[in-house]
Amino acid sequence: MLESDNPRPQRTLRRPVVVEGVGYWSGLRSRVELRPAPAAVGVVFVRRDLCPSVRIPARLDRRVDAEARTNLASGAARVEMVEHVLSALAGLGVDCCEVSVDAAEMPGLDGSSRAFVEAIDSVGFEEVGAPCEPIVVDRAIRVEDGRGWMELSPPRFEGLSVEYLLDYGDGPIGRQRCAVDVTPENYRVELAGARTFLGVQDAERLRASGRGLHVEFSDLLVFGPEGPIGNTLRWPDECARHKALDVVGDLSLAGRPIHACVRSSRSGHRLNAMAVARVLALAAAGEGSPAGVAREARRWSA
């Protein structure tokens, strides 16, 4: 792994901004206040509803396993379904932000990161002086979990590019591909509006377990045999775009931007986290020949 030769200044928000909504899983209303933060703080969630309040850095070592979402914890305190707000911050190049919340779960909104992007854009950015220090991938890395895989290779430009290959067979979701260079403008236009999706059988299973009872099919993409129920697609490949959106958010758990060319197939939050772990491990080691590390990386799997 390499350091960038031309780091840009770190960025934060110019002033606080609020996003409110209801959590998909809990059904509880939550208020998220995105606040400016000083250099080197990174992204930190603050559970202000707890006494005393608890700070939970958005880092891989705070991640806890959860079904179909990314959760973070500090002791008994958690923040849940954080991938969309993290994706918005990373996609727009916000390095330092305090995410103050009054409930564990982030609002589901329309299942995308669009509301967070619009909120961030409404207040703008400012530089905080210290240089941003991305991790630049300089060799091949591959992680697998028996179902999906993710490959990282040296970047095509000074940033992150994501190609997601989605394969749901011959059903209504089908096979899709999304490829995007994750610049702030591309993120706004190509990824931010892509919504969470699931099949109608999964939706009914969640409802039978007492979760998501308040969520209507029009609130996100629920696929029946003929396609989305009570909704229309924003793009033919919206599902692959949403998976790419999740990749951007999950990779930000490195605590620093990752500059790499990423290809991923059938990966989810757990595999995304495995890739971050591998990148951080190689960056921390900082030794060994690129060829040797590449051979080891190709063998590594869950």
User: Are both 125 and 164 inside the same structural domain?
Assistant: no
Confidence of residue 3 (pLDDT cuts 50, 70, 90): low
Give yes or no for a contact between 183 and 159, defined as CB atoms under 8 angstroms apart: yes
Count of domains in the chain?
A: 2
Residue located via tokens 């696929």: 223
Among the listed residues 300, 264, 82, 84, the one whose alpha carbon sits nearest the alpha carbon of residue 279: 300
Confidence of residue 208 (pLDDT cuts 50, 70, 90): confident
Residue located via tokens 């002086």: 129
User: Are both 123 and 144 inside the same structural domain?
Assistant: no
Beta-bridge partner residues of 262:
152, 162
Q: At what angle do helices 83-91 and 238-251 cross, to 10 degrees?
A: 80
Confidence of residue 246 (pLDDT cuts 50, 70, 90): very high
Specify the CATH number for the domain of residue 248. Answer: 3.30.1700.10
Buried b / exposed e along 125-163 (16+ C-beta atoms within 10 A): beebeeebbbbbbbbbbbbbeeebbbbbbebeeebbbbb
Q: What is the pLDDT, as a whole number, of residue 5?
A: 59
- Candidate from 42-56, 130-144, 208-222 with smallest mean pLDDT: 208-222
User: Are both 56 and 186 inside the same structural domain?
Assistant: no
Residue 263 within a domain: yes
Give yes or no for a contact between 188 and 181, defined as CB atoms under 8 angstroms apart: no
> Quick check: 87 pLDDT over 50?
yes
User: Are both 72 and 120 inside the same structural domain?
Assistant: yes
On the 0-12 / 13-18 / 19+ scale of CB atoms within 10 A, 118 is middle
Beta-bridge partner residues of 8:
none
Residue 208 within a domain: no
Let me know if 269 is a catalytic residue. Answer: yes
Domain final residue pick, 77, 98, 131: 131
Radius of gyration of the chain measured on its C-alpha atoms: 19
Domain final residue pick, 131, 148, 180: 131
**8-state DSSP, 180:** E
Residue 279 within a domain: yes
Residue 69 within a domain: yes
> Quick check: 283 pLDDT over 80?
yes
pTM of the model as a whole = 0.92
User: Are both 141 and 247 inside the same structural domain?
Assistant: yes
Q: What is the pLDDT, as a whole number, of residue 4?
A: 57
Written in H, E and C, the secondary structure of 218-252 is HHCEEEECCEECCCCCCCCCHHHHHHHHHHHHHHH
Q: Which amino acid is at 35?
A: R
User: Are both 124 and 142 inside the same structural domain?
Assistant: no
Cβ-proximal residues to 112 (8 Å cutoff; 6+ apart), any chain: 84, 192, 193, 194, 195, 196, 242, 245
Domain final residue pick, 81, 98, 131: 131
Q: pLDDT tens digits for 217-241? A: 888 899 999 999 999 999 999 999 9
Q: What is the pLDDT, as a whole number, of residue 298?
A: 36
User: Are both 47 and 101 inside the same structural domain?
Assistant: yes
Residue 247 within a domain: yes
Specify the CATH number for the domain of residue 26. Answer: 3.30.230.20
User: Are both 43 and 126 inside the same structural domain?
Assistant: yes
Q: Is the dihedral of CA 38, 119, 99, 136 positive or negative?
A: negative
User: Are both 257 and 127 inside the same structural domain?
Assistant: no
User: Are both 160 and 33 inside the same structural domain?
Assistant: no
Residue 168 within a domain: yes
More confident residue, 120 or 199: 120
Domain of 33 in residue numbering reads as: 7-131
Residue 265 within a domain: yes
User: Are both 169 and 259 inside the same structural domain?
Assistant: yes
User: Are both 160 and 287 inside the same structural domain?
Assistant: yes
Residue 252 within a domain: yes
Average pLDDT over residues 28-36: 97
